[in-house]
Structure formats: structure tokens, C-alpha cells
Chain A
Amino acid sequence: MRSVALPYTRIDVEPGLKKIILFEIFFPMVLLVLGIAMGFLQVLYRAGIIHAQSFLGIEYYQGLTLHGTINAIVFTTFFAVAFGHAVIRFYTNKPLHLGAAWTSLILMTLGTLMAAVPMLTGSASVLYTFYPPLKAHPAFYFGLVFVVIGSWIAFFSWIPQTLRWKRENPEAKMPMAVLGIYATFIVWFIATIPVAVEIIFLLIPWSLGWTQTVNVPLARMLFWFFGHPLVYFWLLPAYVMYYTMLPKLAGGKLYSDFAGRFTFLWLIAFSAPIGIHHQYTEPAISTTWKAIHAFFTLLVAIPSLVTAFTMAASMEHGARQRGGSGLFGWWGKLPYLDRDRWMFGYLFAGLFLFIFGGITGIVNASYNLDNVVHNTAWLPAHFHQTVAGPVFLAFIGGSLLLLTTLTGRQVALKSINVLVPYIWSLGIMVFSTGLFVGGVAGEPRRTNLGLSYTNPDSPLFQADWSFSRVFGAIGGSIMFAAMLLYFVVFFATLLGKKTSQSTLELPVSEPYHDEDVPAVQSLRPWIVAAVILLFIAYTVPFMELARARYEGAPPYSPGSPVAQSQ
């Protein structure tokens, strides 16, 4: 099989699909303004600058719930679907099923609004992990279910499209971007089944008062069965951009076609059977199974290491095409601040952050090392270098890319736009440095520190946690400034003048090494492997939970220490 060069660089898109994609970019972007503001408030609270339980009518943990849900669930899911539509439409060059796309959009939007109401009125301050027995208003759970079902419908609608393309191109490899989108949504589909079981069979009946108690250890295992592949659902669209756009933007070719396919397929197999590494410090799960999940977790580091190599090699190839030379001298020849290739900066800065995010991820995965960092500020530091690093930068860059091409506009304020990813990354580095240090010193995550541990008037005051206060607040402020600039660029672009034909144009990288390795040409064996691994990883832990018969827990409101009577 061989890679086939696309005979076009841009395509015309039906007005209906254009509307759908643009709405899926615009709607979460508006919510993201709130989500980012909530993030900024977090660092101010934690540093004790806002010394209160609430600010501007929003309570601390309510704001934290909004921050996590909007930024990590709503924005990411909408973007993944919008980007999926664009990639499938662009590479198969066939009209999509608009009815399905509209249904998907309506369900996701409705679900978001349904979940937003209880969050904004303070009746769902359960954070975006919604661990029982803290209970949210039922509308919160229903809303999440609708968002997930909406995203499934979009995914299912791409399948007949792709199969038709395959029949028409029997000799061609599946385009890398299409493979990446399939990996994204296969991982998402596998991941969302256990959380759907948790929400529909455990949490909704319990929150409605139909059942009196909930089995908390079971709910938690189902949640993390979802929670870890979720992070690959975030990461995979960013990987699609790395493998298919970055080499082209750098001026060269993708170093290895095989490496890309291997990465996507390996993540399908190994992103799910590892959820227990989030539960290392819990009772109710034996150390044997914690260790097995630890080993599987380390195995998902392999595609990240391969990606690091392939991206560096691809950028080197690009830089040498642009006249770079020497062992390290070529690093100077990349388009870091090229205003017209601004997307390079968004992807490059994310890769830089991912070096640190990846290393600290290996720390978290390393079984007994987790004792030191579990539930501490170390964790948000780690995932701001991953989710808020490569993922977030690729998603806001991708949003801007789709906005410009589909509306036929130029990016507004180009010289500011090109700086945004670097300012953001500087903020992340400062913020994370503070939180890493704080985490190792025992500073807890998800905590309004300003009222206790960082409050000099409190008996709980910890003088040696001030390093993280200061770095967290400075880093967070830089991140906030970067996002203000981004929002200005985004909305100025949206309101700017149309300068060219509306079209869909994505940067497309050709492979430098176009290997023909049969093992990475078909999805099927990797999906089968994923299912087998899931059975291996989870059968016994679930049986252990079932056998132990842990007593159920009644619902609690986050505001009261007394169980809610039904």
C-alpha cells in the first residue's frame, strides 16, 4: 500500500456543514471565556489574593467545577467533533451526512446548556469528576449524557463515508489524518461506555431518589475506566495536527509515516486498560492489579517517545530544507515567529510543554512514587503541561485555523497572534514550576488554600508553601494575559472583513519515509487487541468489587455534612 498525494489543496464545503463547524468552534469559545476567567480566579484564591469563599457571586468550588467542565469536557468535545467533520470532509472529499451532523450539534449544545444551569446556580459543585457520594442536580448528569451521545452520532456518521472512500481507493493507505480521527473516536467510544454505565445506572437513579445509596468503589472504577482514555481523546486530535500539519508548516515532510500510524494504533490498544493508575491510593483494589495497570500505563509512554523523536526529525528535515545546517544549528531555521505560518508556533510550543508533561506523567504512573504526589498540586501542574499544553494550544490554534479558512478571513492582529502560544507556554511553565514544588511539599490540589494553608491568620498556615503561591499566581496571570490576547485575535478575526473565498484548506504533510508495514494498515486487529486488553485489565478488579459487597452511600450536598434524606 502507498500514500497517495491529494490532488487538491482546498475544497468547497456545503454551506450547512460550514455552519455546523463554525458553530461548534464559536459556541464553546464563548463558554471558554468564562472557563478561563474561572481558571485565573483559582490561582488568585490559592495565593490568598482573593481571600474569600466566593467572588463575584461564584463560590470557589463552583468556579472550579465550571473551569474543569467547560475547558476539559465541553470545549474539547466540541472541537474534536468539529475537527473530525473537517478532516473527514477534506480527506475523503465527499459530502457528510448533514442530518446526523445537525443532530449531533443539537444534542451536544442542549446537553451543555442543561449541565450549565445547575453549575451556574450552584447545585452541581461536584467538580468535573463528579465523585459520588457528593451529588449534583440530575440535570448535570443528563447534560453530560447528551453531550456524549451527540459526539457518538457525529462519529457514526463518518463511517459509511470512509468505507465508500476505501472501496474507491483500494490500493491507497488511509490518510493519516483520517486514521488519527478514527483513533480519537474509537478511544472515545470505548471510554464513554463505562462512564455511561456509571451515570445512567448508578448516578441518575440515585440523584433522582429512586435508589437510596450508591456503590462508591464501583462508581469510581467505572469513572477511571473512562477518565484515562479521556486524556487520549484530548491528545489524539493534537497528534493528528502534529503528524499531518507540523512537518508541512516547518517546511518539510513527515519523517516517518510508519511512526504516525504506529502511534495512533498503539493508543487505541493501550489507552483504556490503565485507569487504575488514578486509584493507586485507594482501598478496594489489590496491589496486584494496581501493578498490572502501572505496567500498561508505562506502555502508553512508548507512542509519546516515538512522537517526540518523529517530530524532532520532521522539524529537522523542514529546517534543513530552509537552509539550516549543523548538528544543532538547524534549530534556528524554523518559522517560530512567521506570521503567515502562525500555526507552527501553536504546535511547537505545545510540543515543548509536552516534554515536561510527559516526564512528570511517567512519575505519576510509577506506582509507589504516586504516594508522594497523589492528589497534590503536582497533578494540576502535570496536566496543565499536557491538556493545557499541547492539547489546548493545538485546539485553540485549530479553532482559529478552521475559522479563517471556512469564513475566508485572514487572522486579525497577526503580530499578536504569533506570540500567543509562547506567552501561554511561559505562563504554564511558571505556574507548573510553582505547583510541582508545592505538590512535593504536600500542598493539596482542588483546595481554596487562601482561606487556610496560605492564610497567615489561619492556624493551618504553612509558611513554606509560599513559593508555589507566588509562582502559581504569576504563572496564572501570564496564562490569563495570553488568553485575553487570543480572545481578542479570535473575535477580531470573526468580525473582520472577508478577504477570500470561503473554503476548507488544511496543511497536508507528505511522508519522507513512506514505509509499507502491513501491521499498521488495518484498524481491526488493534481494536480486537484493545477489547482483549480491557478484559484482562478489568475482569478481576470488577469481580473483587462485586465480591466484597461494600455498603452503599447516601447522597450528600457539597454544602452540608448531613446526608440528604430521600
Chain B
Amino acid sequence: MAAQVGIEKRIIAASAVFVVAVSGVIFLTVRLFGIGLPTCLTDVRPFREAQVLQHAPDRYEIHYVARMWRFEPAEVAVRPGSTVDIYLSTADVTHGMQIVGTNVNLMAIPGAVNYARVKLDKAGEYLVVCNEYCGLAHHNMAAKIRVTDEAEDLGGPEPAAPQVTGGAKILDDNGCTACHSLDGSESVGGTFKGLYGSTRTMADGATVVADDAYIRESIVDPEAKVVQGLDPLMPPVSLTDADLNAVIEYLKTLR
């Protein structure tokens, strides 16, 4: 019997050796190749301003803001062979950020800032995906990094983006543009381009002209009339009368 107990014990010992060997290999990859994991940054405050900084021809720093349902900046161009420091903060819920084809895979956690460094050697386009569920349009949340010789020399901080004002700013502040595009491109809730004054077909087959009253109602009580082919996913948005008017005036310009 004693010899037989030995077999089981040898199996346990062999398993333990395997575990220690795997741990050793991991340790070596961290030490020799510097492939690590994100760590605890306690000295960087969460930020809401996206930025691309260029410190040298091949040294960049990108401050990504993840928000439902987009990354800012949506597109960045860098030179081949650049080393890029990536800081990630979220403006709302938890997001994930993977630069496909690299080792950059970060969680964006409310309250904390995440960080990784990546060297982008190959020219081409890298897809940046949100890989943590962040709400009903999560599948649309992506960005791009272009690695190209034609990357513009930024020569320091990028000039601040022009301030959107009036109706456009209200749409942006209330997250409307997460589901409604402004330029006619396909989006979850349909585009705003050409909406005003158009004839809309509802789920029940009725047609409605998108006038002031219709737009007002669709914002305040979106389930009152649902456009055919769309799901009733939109939450009611409470805006002041002045803001509603500003939005309508703005939509009139998007012909």
C-alpha cells in the first residue's frame, strides 16, 4: 500500500513542479522582454479632455477618454517606429480598450487612470475596440490609430478643438450623438442629417412630418412615436424649452 500511495504523491509533486515552471517562465518574460501588466497609478487625476502630445519625432502621448459610446480621440496618426504612452480615463461607465494586434489591453475604470506603453513599428491602421460591455450601443465603440509616414508633425499639444455651441453642444452634452450621427452615416438611432421636415413612417404604419412638435415630442417622450425599423431604446431626455428650441434650430441647418 505504501508504494501505491507513492504514485498519487508523485503526481501531486509533478503538478507542483509544472506550476513552478510556468511561474518561472512568466517571471522570465517579465524580466527579459519587459512584457508587464498595467499597474496602480495614483498620481494621475482622472481627466475628461482627450489629448495627443508629441514629445519628439517618435515619442507620443495619447490621453484617451472612453465614453458611451466612443473613444476620444477617434483617430490618431503617428509615425512608424513611434513609442506611444497611452493614458486611459472614462467619462462615465466601465469600458475596455484593446489596440488589436498589440499587447495593449486596458480597462477604463471610473475613478482611476490606466496606462500602457506601446511601440508601433508596422505602418498601417490599428483598430481600437471597446471590449467591456458599456451599454446598449457598446458594439459601436471603436477608434483608429494610423501608423504612417505622413503623420502630421504636432510640435507640441494639439490646438483645442473648436467649441461647439448652441444646439450642437446640447446634443453633445446629452449624449444624443452617441446614437444619432450628424453626417448621414448609419447609426443606432438614425441620423439627424435631413431629419427636419422629412416624412417619417412609424412602427404602426402612420406617417408624420418631422416638424417642431414632432421633434419636441420625440425628445421628451421617445416612445410616443417610434420610427419603423428602430427599437424603442431611447431614454426620455429632459431639456429646457430654450434648449429644445436651440436643438430644433440646429437640426434645421442639417439639411
Give A residues with C-beta under 8 Å from B.
Answer: 52-54, 59, 61, 64, 125, 127, 131-134, 215-217, 220, 256, 258-259, 262, 279-287, 290, 294-295, 298-299, 301-302, 305-306, 309-310, 362, 366-372, 374-376, 441-442, 444-449, 451-453, 457-460, 462, 513, 515, 517, 544, 547-548, 550-553, 556-563
Contacts and interface: CB of A to CB of B under 8 A. Distances in A.
A283 B139 contact: no
A466 B93 CA distance: 30
Contacts of A372: 103, 105
B40 A441 contact: no
B233 A559 contact: yes
Given A133-B110, A282-B38, A61 B140 contact: no
B233 A368 contact: no
Interface in B68-124: 68-69, 92-94, 96, 98, 100-101, 103-107, 109-115
Interface string B17-54: 01100110010011000011111111000100000000
Contacts of B98: 374-376, 442, 444
B112 A283 contact: yes
Nearest to A304: B15
A305 B18 contact: yes
Nearest to A215: B111
A301 B19 contact: yes
Nearest to B30: A368
Closest 9 CB pairs of A and B: A561-B175, A550-B111, A442-B100, A561-B68, A444-B131, A553-B110, A375-B131, A305-B15, A283-B114
Contacts of A547: 42
B92 A53 contact: no
B147 interface: no
Nearest to A512: B4
A556 B133 contact: no
B117 to A, nearest CB: 12
B6 to A, nearest CB: 10
Given A259-B11, A552-B111, A368 B37 contact: yes
Pick the most buried of A280, A371, A374: most chain B CB atoms within 10 A of its CB.
A371
Pick the most buried of B12, B35, B142: most chain A CB atoms within 10 A of its CB.
B12
Interface residues of B, number: 72
Contact of A281 (B15, B107, B129, B175): B107
Given A59-B233, A220-B109, A284-B109, 15 more contacts: A54-B231, A134-B94, A281-B96, A283-B40, A298-B19, A371-B105, A372-B105, A374-B105, A444-B96, A446-B133, A447-B139, A453-B139, A553-B92, A553-B110, A557-B235
28 contacts: A131-B93, A131-B94, A132-B94, A133-B92, A216-B94, A216-B109, A217-B112, A280-B37, A281-B114, A283-B41, A283-B107, A284-B112, A287-B40, A294-B26, A362-B22, A368-B29, A368-B30, A374-B98, A375-B107, A441-B100, A447-B139, A462-B127, A515-B1, A559-B233, A559-B234, A561-B67, A561-B175, A562-B235
Nearest to B21: A298
A170 to B, nearest CB: 23
Interface of B: 1, 4-5, 7-8, 11-12, 14-16, 18-19, 22-23, 26, 29-30, 35-42, 46, 67-69, 92-94, 96, 98, 100-101, 103-107, 109-115, 127, 129-136, 138-140, 142, 174-175, 178, 185-186, 188, 231, 233-235, 237
A559 B37 contact: no
A551 B113 CA distance: 11
A64 B133 CA distance: 11
Nearest to A133: B93
Contacts of A548: 40, 42, 112
Nearest to A551: B111
A376 B69 CA distance: 18
Contacts of A280: 37-38
Contacts of A561: 67-69, 92, 135, 175, 178
Given A444-B131, A447-B133, A59 B37 contact: no
Given A61-B133, A448-B139, A513-B1, A442 B127 contact: yes
A258 B6 CA distance: 11
B61 to A, nearest CB: 17
B2 to A, nearest CB: 9
B111 A217 contact: yes
Contacts of B142: 452, 460
Contacts of A309: 11
A132 B111 CA distance: 12
A532 to B, nearest CB: 19
A556 B114 CA distance: 21
A301 B17 CA distance: 11
A283 B133 contact: no
Contact of B111 (A216, A285, A447, A563): A216
A453 B130 CA distance: 12
A449 to B, nearest CB: 6
Nearest to B10: A309
B110 A281 contact: no
Contacts of A445: 131
A291 B94 CA distance: 23
A562 B1 contact: no
B7 to A, nearest CB: 8
B218 to A, nearest CB: 15
A134 B5 contact: no
B131 to A, nearest CB: 4
A220 B231 CA distance: 31
Contacts of B67: 561
Contacts of A220: 94, 109
B4 to A, nearest CB: 5
Given A444-B96, A561-B92, A127 B37 contact: no
Contacts of B93: 131, 133-134, 553, 556
Given A284-B112, A451-B139, A513-B4, A371 B103 contact: yes
Contacts of A215: 111
B109 A442 contact: no
A370 B140 CA distance: 24
A441 B126 CA distance: 12
Nearest to A563: B92
A215 B109 CA distance: 10
Nearest to A313: B7
A377 B5 CA distance: 42
B237 A448 contact: no
B136 A53 contact: yes
Pick the most buried of A302, A547, A561: most chain B CB atoms within 10 A of its CB.
A561
B138 A282 contact: no
A125 B113 CA distance: 26
A560 B18 contact: no
A279 to B, nearest CB: 8
Nearest to B68: A561
